Amino acid sequence: MTDNQINFIGWILFVISALGFVVASVGSFWSMFGSIFFLVACLVFLIPFFRKK
């Protein structure tokens, strides 16, 4: 596996964990806010993997 593939898999796992945090925080505004913020941050880090080089 290349370094890019390993990095991509790592960020996908972070996104999955962020989704788990979102589900677990249902009912708590501040927990939901933090979970969504974490999810968005993970998605931002995935942008370079989908850009044309």
**Predicted local confidence at residue 5, as pLDDT:** 95
Give me the percent of the chain exceeding a pLDDT of 90. 94
Q: How many residues does the chain have?
A: 53
27 vs 9: CA distance, rounded Å: 30
Residue 18's CB is within 10 A of a number of other CB atoms, namely 19
Q: Does position 28 have pLDDT exceeding 80, yes or no?
A: yes
Q: Does position 53 have pLDDT exceeding 90, yes or no?
A: no
Q: Does position 32 have pLDDT exceeding 90, yes or no?
A: yes
Q: Does position 52 have pLDDT exceeding 90, yes or no?
A: no
What are the residues whose beta carbons fall under 8 Å from the beta carbon of 8, sequence distance 6 or more? 46, 49
**Predicted local confidence at residue 23, as pLDDT:** 96
Residue type, 39: L
